[in-house]
Structure 1
Amino acid sequence: MAQPVLELRDIDRYYKTAAGELHVLSGTNLQLNAGELVGLVGPSGSGKSTLLHTAGLLERPESGKVMLDGIDCLALDDKGRTAIRRAKIGFVYQFHHLLPEFNAADNVAMPLMIAGTKQSAAREKAEHLLGEMGLDERGHHQPAQMSGGEQQRVAIARALANDPRLVIADEPTGNLDPGTTERVFATLIKMVRDEGAAVLVATHNLSLIRHMDRVLTLADGKLVDYQPD
């Protein structure tokens, strides 16, 4: 049996408040396999972002294990976790967070160059990814010269630049109209399927559920199958 891309094992995560400890994740377990698209739904404040940040090595839980391609990531120091995050994880957010002073191709090429890829090779890869996104003619345009849907497709291309094993998307289509949402999400699905990445998507948009292999929600800090009303 193939090794999972991501495993969360017995994750506990809480925050200290004036009223005491607020437990958000309690013995949470999750396994994602290559090519699998898993949705995460639930109301605001249910712990979706905490789960994504934990899986993406942006937050450290109080206990448990985060395994990525068999690597025990929490056993690494900060430098080691940063290296894993840059090499193996791509992030897509509701707000594209593109650098406004750079054009689309430069935004996509940036993580490649940070990882040590030569500028010419990074630029070539960026232009290829933008082409896959249907943005062949937009590489030289700055974010302010692009529509919201185009900006988000650039952000997806950037997230995929380093061929991540895991893509984490937090409300990736939250600011888009329904038609653009379908196009952007279809592009994301095609590219991650082609690359064999695992994808974890948090969304309030229930129309996207039909694209998912599985849909989960958090109940009392644990992941359970989502049962629509």
Structure 2
Amino acid sequence: MSNPIPSSPILALRGVERVYKTEAGALPVLRGVDLDVYPGEVVGLIGPSGSGKSSLLHSAGLLEHPDAGAVTLEGRECSKLSERVRTRIRLGTVGFVYQFHHLLPEFTALENVALPLSIAGKSQREADARAKELLEGLGLGHRLNHQPAQMSGGEQQRVAIARALANRPKLLLADEPTGNLDPATSAAVFQSLYEIARQEGVAALIATHNMELARYMDRVLALKDGHLEARTFS
């Protein structure tokens, strides 16, 4: 599943460190992480619970400040920027998918996906058109007017993926996006995520425990003792 890789990464991490303070003392989680993720590339991030996968994603997505190192998005180093500027960059550049879909229960699938577009200033017509395009691309054309409770877990997660991509982010960060689903549904949702990431040309970094899915990504990196190691599958 490899395409030619463009020369400039969307996300570049250099020497990123993250240390948490605990009652027992300092707990280093990331110890100088280097990482590049390119447009149209789907990169898997694996590692045991507590290894720092979420911390890495939060640093990459400007939700947390690293304790050391540089986070560069689209060529702009963001580590030392103000929170206001970081928030603006995050809203315009990064889409997030979590293990739980966090859809608004009273809204339809179409409304859930259109909402971030409306917040970004798009007209209702533009927002609905983009939401419909994404949902149909994810095989949910028949669910546009259904509320989350009327959909399966896999369908709900596809809606969450569409919502994350609504504002055409350059970087998609996913934290165990299929962790709540059964194996067959996980595979289907991952395939949908992979295909639409390709179509949209986003750089995708996906944390997962699912080794069967990880082997189908373009690259897989294992987080071990605070460092990233390339992982290959036979």
Same-fold status (TM-score > 0.5)? yes
Question: Identity rate of aligned residues, in percent?
Answer: 59
What's the counterpart of residue 134 of structure 1?
A: 139
Tell me if the contact between 1:41 and 1:226 (Cα under 8 Å) persists in the aligned partners: no
Tell me if the contact between 2:215 and 2:233 (Cα under 8 Å) persists in the aligned partners: no
- 1:210 matched to 2:201: no
What's the counterpart of residue 78 of structure 1?
A: 83
What's the counterpart of residue 194 of structure 1?
A: 199
- TM-score of the superposition, structure 1-length normalised? 0.96
1:105-159 residue CA offsets vs partner (Å, 9 max, x unmatched): 1110111111111122101110111111111121111101111011001001101
SS at match of 1:45: coil
- 1:171 matched to 2:176: yes
Name the stretch that deviates more: 148-157 or 209-218.
209-218
What's the counterpart of residue 115 of structure 1?
A: 120
SS at match of 1:172: coil
Corresponding letter in the other structure for 2:126: A
SS at match of 2:187: helix
What's the counterpart of residue 55 of structure 1?
A: 60
- 1:223 matched to 2:232: no
Tell me if the contact between 2:114 and 2:131 (Cα under 8 Å) persists in the aligned partners: yes
Runs of 5+ consecutive residues of structure 1 not aligned to the other structure: none
SS at match of 1:158: helix
What's the counterpart of residue 153 of structure 1?
A: 158
> Structure 1 segments of 4 or more deviating over 6 A?
none
Tell me if the contact between 1:25 and 1:51 (Cα under 8 Å) persists in the aligned partners: yes
Alignment of 1:91-110 (within 5 A): 91-110=96-115
What's the counterpart of residue 3 of structure 2?
A: none
- 1:3 matched to 2:8: yes
SS at match of 1:218: strand
Q: Aligned equivalents of 1:25 and 1:227: distance in 2?
A: 22
- 1:16 matched to 2:21: yes
Q: Aligned equivalents of 2:36 and 2:226: distance in 1?
A: 16
What's the counterpart of residue 188 of structure 2?
A: 183
Q: Aligned equivalents of 1:23 and 1:227: distance in 2?
A: 26
RMSD: 1.4
1:64 to 52, 58, 69: 69
SS at match of 2:43: strand
SS at match of 2:29: strand
Number of aligned residues = 229
SS at match of 2:143: coil
- TM-score of the superposition, structure 2-length normalised? 0.94
SS at match of 2:141: coil
What's the counterpart of residue 143 of structure 1?
A: 148
Task: Tell me how far 1:58 sits from its aligned partner.
Answer: 0.8
SS at match of 1:75: coil
Task: Tell me how far 1:206 sits from its aligned partner.
Answer: 0.5
Q: Aligned equivalents of 2:114 and 2:144: distance in 1?
A: 11
Q: Aligned equivalents of 1:124 and 1:37: distance in 2?
A: 26
SS at match of 1:137: helix
SS at match of 1:175: coil
Task: Tell me how far 1:179 sits from its aligned partner.
Answer: 1.7
SS at match of 2:13: strand
